[in-house]
């Protein structure tokens, strides 16, 4: 609960989000709250009081609705109207000085607050690639209409990729100051000894983590394994609406002995550490938490060079030219083209046949992950808030 004994000079800050369910943006919020509470009087304001991640002591939680967030779009629209009034009253009643929102609908509400209350510093955060982050034509047109109007009412914006910011400028007319603040991670206590990766194996142990949906494109990895003459043990952490389809495809390729669906798990790091390579096959990402978390335990990685995130992580955002059916050896991992299962198959075979490269990239993963450690990212975030 909220600590009334906090120093009086701390500013009142509200963090606005849809919920604290098990998503990438929500995990970032939960980590930043650990540090924010030391410098501000923090209230976490949610559309729906769903708490998957822990809320640190000293942070108050205010849920604007006790209804499920899995509602039809038209009901969500009317909820949004109601939340505008609730949040606006909350801001005034609590004397909130800084309002920070994450994700599109909360950002739009922050834009309304900025329009009618100039005393509040409003900061918004885009977490996915905007042009590819809409669920329907209706939501796309809403974005095209309201982003330029309401996003531009706010003081500034931060995202987790330079490509997201460019997309907002070029395709949505967002003109406010923007910065990139990458997702933070907590470096794990337990990591892989890179020397362990430098051993010959008959069956390379691969792993990925993420919702089983079209965007994550897990079938690409299944097809890559099917195209290879080498053996793999591929674990998929997560669940989703394409689970049945993926199960059928695995059976069609007769890969039941090489691919297993683990479902949702809590001890993700334990699974990561037990493997030898992490693979990300997404069509699009904002900033892939799963990829940086795999690097943080010391796994060598291979990823699609999708719209934002992997290139920044695996090659320090230096552009690459990858031919179809091939892969690129980046500074911190391997990159392949979107939905190119032949290129991915060759990249996986490269790791399979070269254990010394697995060790090298395992060490590089550990090195790269340090740049995203929570205290370092929070320092950037706090400076951004104050500036």
Are the CB atoms for 141 and 169 separated by under 8 Å? no
In a domain, 297, yes or no: yes
Which residue is it, tokens 């604290």? 20
At residue 68, the pLDDT reads 64
- Residue 357 pLDDT > 80: yes
Tell me: do 116 and 202 sit in the same domain: no
SS3 content of the chain, % helix, strand, coil (to 5): 45, 20, 35
**pLDDT, averaged across the chain:** 92
For the chain, the domain total comes to: 2
In a domain, 303, yes or no: yes
Q: What would the mean pLDDT of 22-51 be, rounded to a whole number?
A: 94
Q: Which pTM does this prediction carry?
A: 0.85
> Phi and psi at residue 310, in whole multiples of 5°?
-60, -40
Question: How far is it, in rounded angstroms, from Cα 208 to Cα 272?
Answer: 8
Q: What would the mean pLDDT of 235-260 be, rounded to a whole number?
A: 96
- Residue 4 pLDDT > 50: no
Dihedral angle at the C-alpha atoms of 48, 54, 60, 64, nearest 10 degrees?
Answer: 0
Res. 1 pLDDT band, cuts 50 70 90: very low
Tell me: do 311 and 366 sit in the same domain: yes
- Residue 71 pLDDT > 80: no
Are the CB atoms for 130 and 143 separated by under 8 Å? yes
- Residue 7 pLDDT > 70: no
- Residue 2 pLDDT > 60: no
Residue 246 belongs to domain with CATH number: 3.40.50.2000
Tell me: do 17 and 131 sit in the same domain: yes
In a domain, 209, yes or no: yes
Total number of residues shown for the chain: 387
* Domain span holding position 166: 12-180
At residue 135, the pLDDT reads 53
Tell me: do 130 and 261 sit in the same domain: no
Between 132 and 45, whose confidence is greater?
45
DSSP-assigned letters across all residues of 225-264: HHH-SSEEEEEEEB--TTHHHHHHHHHHTT-TTTEEEEES
Are the CB atoms for 73 and 98 separated by under 8 Å? no
Tell me: do 35 and 105 sit in the same domain: yes
- The residue from 147, 180, 213 where one domain ends is 180
Between strands 60-65 and 41-48, the pairing is parallel
- The residue from 121, 152, 180 where one domain ends is 180
Query: Which of 284, 283, 279 lies closest to 259, judged by CA?
Result: 279
Percentage of the chain lying above the pLDDT 70 cut: 93
Q: At how many degrees (to 10) do helices 243-252 and 219-227 cross?
A: 10
In a domain, 70, yes or no: yes
Rg of the chain's alpha carbons, rounded to an integer? 22
Question: How far is it, in rounded angstroms, from Cα 133 to Cα 223?
Answer: 25
In a domain, 240, yes or no: yes
Res. 73 pLDDT band, cuts 50 70 90: low
pLDDT one-digit tens code per residue, 306-330: 988 899 999 999 999 999 999 999 9
pLDDT one-digit tens code per residue, 258-300: 999 999 888 899 999 999 999 999 998 888 999 999 999 999 9
pLDDT one-digit tens code per residue, 94-110: 999 999 999 989 999 99
Find how far residue 209's CA is from the centre of its chain: 12
Query: Which of 375, 381, 281 lies closest to 327, judged by CA?
Result: 281
Tell me: do 115 and 203 sit in the same domain: no
Burial of residue 323 (number of CB atoms within 10 Å: 0-12, 13-18, 19+): exposed
Tell me: do 176 and 202 sit in the same domain: no
In a domain, 254, yes or no: yes
Tell me: do 92 and 124 sit in the same domain: yes
pLDDT one-digit tens code per residue, 249-259: 999 999 999 99
Task: Tell me the two tokens of residue 40.
Answer: 């501000």
Query: Which of 51, 160, 173, 133 lies closest to 381, judged by CA?
Result: 160
Question: How far is it, in rounded angstroms, from Cα 205 to Cα 272?
Answer: 10
At residue 155, the pLDDT reads 97
> Phi and psi at residue 70, in whole multiples of 5°?
-90, 75
């Amino acid at each position: 609960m909220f600590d009334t004994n906090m120093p009086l000079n701390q500013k009142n800050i509200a963090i606005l989000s849809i919920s604290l369910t098990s998503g990438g943006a929500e995990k970032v919020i939960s980590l930043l709250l650990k540090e924010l509470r030391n410098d501000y009087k923090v209230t976490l304001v949610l559309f729906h009081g769903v708490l998957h991640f822990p809320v640190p002591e000293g942070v108050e939680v205010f849920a604007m609705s006790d209804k499920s967030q899995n509602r039809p779009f038209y009901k969500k629209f009317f909820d949004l109207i109601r939340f505008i009034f609730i949040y606006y009253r909350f801001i005034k009643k609590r004397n909130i000085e800084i309002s920070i929102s994450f994700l599109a609908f909360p950002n739009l509400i922050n834009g309304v607050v900025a329009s009618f209350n100039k005393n509040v510093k409003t900061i918004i955060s885009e977490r996915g690639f905007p042009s590819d982050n809409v669920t329907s034509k209706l939501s796309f047109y809403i974005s095209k209409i309201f982003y330029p109007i309401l996003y531009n009412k706010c003081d500034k914006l931060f995202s987790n990729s330079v490509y997201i910011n460019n997309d907002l400028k070029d395709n949505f007319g967002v003109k406010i100051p923007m910065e990139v603040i990458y997702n933070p991670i907590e470096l794990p206590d337990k990591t892989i000894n890179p020397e362990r990766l430098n051993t010959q194996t008959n069956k390379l142990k691969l792993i990925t983590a993420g919702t089983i949906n079209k965007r994550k494109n897990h079938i690409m990895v299944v097809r890559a394994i099917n195209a290879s003459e080498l053996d793999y043990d591929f674990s998929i952490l997560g669940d989703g609406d394409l689970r049945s389809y993926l199960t059928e495809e695995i059976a069609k390729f007769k890969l039941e002995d090489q691919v297993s669906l683990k479902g949702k798990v809590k001890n993700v790091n334990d699974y990561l550490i037990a493997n030898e390579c992490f693979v990300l096959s997404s069509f699009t990402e904002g900033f892939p938490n799963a990829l940086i978390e795999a690097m943080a335990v010391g796994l060598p990685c291979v990823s699609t060079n999708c719209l934002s995130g992997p290139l920044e992580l695996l090659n320090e955002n230096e552009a690459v030219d990858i031919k179809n059916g091939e892969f690129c050896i980046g500074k911190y991992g391997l990159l392949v083209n979107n939905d190119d299962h032949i290129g991915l198959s060759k990249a996986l075979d490269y790791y399979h046949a070269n254990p010394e490269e697995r060790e090298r990239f395992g060490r590089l993963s550990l090195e790269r992950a340090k740049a995203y450690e929570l205290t370092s990212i929070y320092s950037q975030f706090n400076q951004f808030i104050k500036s």
